[in-house]
Amino acid sequence: MMETQLILDRYKPLEHLASGGFADVILAFDTHMQRRVALKRLPFPRNRFGKLQIPAGLAEARTAALLNHPSIVTVYEWDTDSDEAFIIMEYIEGASLAQVLDERPLDLDEAAAVVTAVAEALNHAHENGVLHLDLKPDNVLITLDGRVKVTDFGVATLSTASGHQPTLGGTIGYMPMEQLANERVDERTDVWAFAVMLFEALAGDNPFAGDSIEDAIFKTSIIEPPSLSDFKRGFPPRLDDILAQALSTHAAKRHTSVMELAADLMPHLGDSSRGRESLSQTVRELAAESDGGVIGWPTIGLWDRFAHLSSTSCRILCAAVAGGLTYAGLDGIPLFPLPVIVAGAVACLLLGLAMPGLGVLAGYLIFLTALALSGQPISAALLALTGVLLAWIVGRRSSGLAASLFAPLLGTAYLAPAMPLILGYQISPLKAALLSAHAALLTLLASAGSGIGGPWLSVSPELLFGPIGGHLPLLLIQKPELALIWSIIVITWAVAGAIMSVAAGRTTRVSAAIGIALTAALYSVAYTLIAPISASLDIDTVWSIAAFAPHIAASSILMMLVVIAGPPVRAENE
């Protein structure tokens, strides 16, 4: 499986399918629509100074790619980013005509099936003002049931606009003289390529293939094109005449349309229905050989299948956090009656659904205000400084701040140390480190407010229904050792989040498992080293391995279950 992150925050790469002159095609899983797609990536060129050049023909290429016809591969999406274009297409499980021709030439029945479908596809494109300009066996796909589809409309337009020379948007051996000479092209340009492709499909050879444009021009304009009978006997003699006309050097002498060419060809070809059956059998054999006897592709991880729900889940998460924080905050202020408290919580919940980042920030500030009014100004100040800073850095574009606020909830179930691992599993190292530090501070304050001593990993469930009531933060000023311990814990969680993010960045189960092991080791070493420092304190903060080992073990097991469910899903440019 490809060790690549999500493309366009949506597509999970599975397998590399093909490489062309200026593009790669990969099999990908659409995490939104829950289907496999073929994704073509076309990098934009750079000039001689290395500066990126944005093609001028993007709009034309996009229009050409979005044709809709049964014999044309469906394009679901056409998008660009800063340095490349993406064409997301229907995935055709089968083989290309080029792969079939690598095994053997077509018979007349199979040729009839190809001619019928390709002619209809090209005719539909021409009626909509689109030329293919790169018709060749690689761009004709055959499904497992023998249906023929044409792909890559608009790609030639894009390649020409992008300055990908010297092929001028086409492929040597399938371009007539006017395309090679960079002169005006029209429907008859595709007629010529169509005729060459049929010639190759029947004869098993392309007489116009060459190593350079100069070679192709010589074969196209100087040498008399050969006849099918020169390669293989048994073809109807009339086919030679029809193909000779379609392959004329001068466009004016060719058939005026692909349908006219197909109408001339079909009486001398075979039965297209039998041809589809024969092609289906051949393609199935090719697919079985390439897959070791089994037609299929790598399985999709559970998180990939649920990724399409991530946006909705994020809104629900943020709404719950916003409403919960508002309720807890207002409930801690005696001035507000219950109806006002409920109304405020509902208002923040709805704000969280509409604007997740703003809703969480509003609930957070209400909670901190109540915390300060309830006699915990130091705790409120600490949380305000870190929370507002994080909201400015990452909270505006991610649910990370909302996720870190769940750390105290995990603390009620011996799972608080899992928070940095969860964050690192999803986001970049810097963001994971910052949010993990914030989660650590929240957990420390919540544990202290619960009246639970070191290592401050457990949180009382009752605390979640009201403001923090403990006074341990006040001792930070009086006990420098305590401030040192808390600082080390916050830093340890931040490093754990960064380590997990780096490990999960390879988007494989193995790398994620390594990250879990490394963070578990880091936690164990840090808490073990901190324990002796606590012995110098007069308050009940002394702990042993037995105090923190269950939390680390439970958190590691939880994350291993997450990893088993599927490798990390990460945005490509996260």
Domains by residue range for the chain, with CATH: 11-290 (1.10.510.10), 301-395 (no CATH), 405-574 (no CATH)
Question: Which residue from 410, 421, 384 is spatially nearest to 500, judged by alpha carbons?
Answer: 421
Sheet holding 75-80, edge to edge: 11-19, 24-30, 35-43, 84-90, 75-80
Q: Please tell me the distance from the alpha carbon of residue 146 to that of residue 116, in angstroms, as a whole number.
A: 13
Mean pLDDT of the 37-51 span: 75
pLDDT tens-digit map of 422-457: 888 878 888 889 889 989 988 888 887 777 777 888
pLDDT at 179 > cutoff 50: yes
CA distance 189 to 177: 9
Q: What pTM was computed for the model?
A: 0.59
Q: What mean pLDDT is reported for the chain?
A: 80
| pLDDT band for position 212 (cuts 50, 70, 90) | confident
Find the DSSP H helices in 104-232.
108-127, 155-161, 177-180, 187-203, 213-221
Please, which pLDDT band fits residue 386 given cuts at 50, 70 and 90?
A: confident
The pLDDT tens digits of the residues spanning 106-154 come to: 999 999 999 999 999 999 999 988 888 889 999 999 999 999 999 888 7
pLDDT digits (tens, 9 = 90+) for 260-270: 999 999 999 99
Cis peptide before 166 (omega within 30 of 0): yes
Bridge partners, 140 (sequence order)? 150
- CA-based angle 505:511:512, to the nearest 5? 75
Give the integer Cα–Cα distance in Å for 225 and 221: 9
Q: How far apart are CA 25 and CA 155, in angstroms?
A: 12
pLDDT of residue 48: 66
Q: Is the pLDDT of residue 477 over 60?
A: no
Query: So what's the pLDDT on residue 120?
Result: 96
CA separation for the pair 145, 353 (Å, rounded): 46
113 or 45, which is more confident?
113
Q: What angle do CA 448, 454, 457 make, to 5 degrees?
A: 70
The DSSP-derived string for 243-255 is: HHHHT-SSGGGS-
Which of 277, 286, 275 is CA-nearest to residue 95? 286
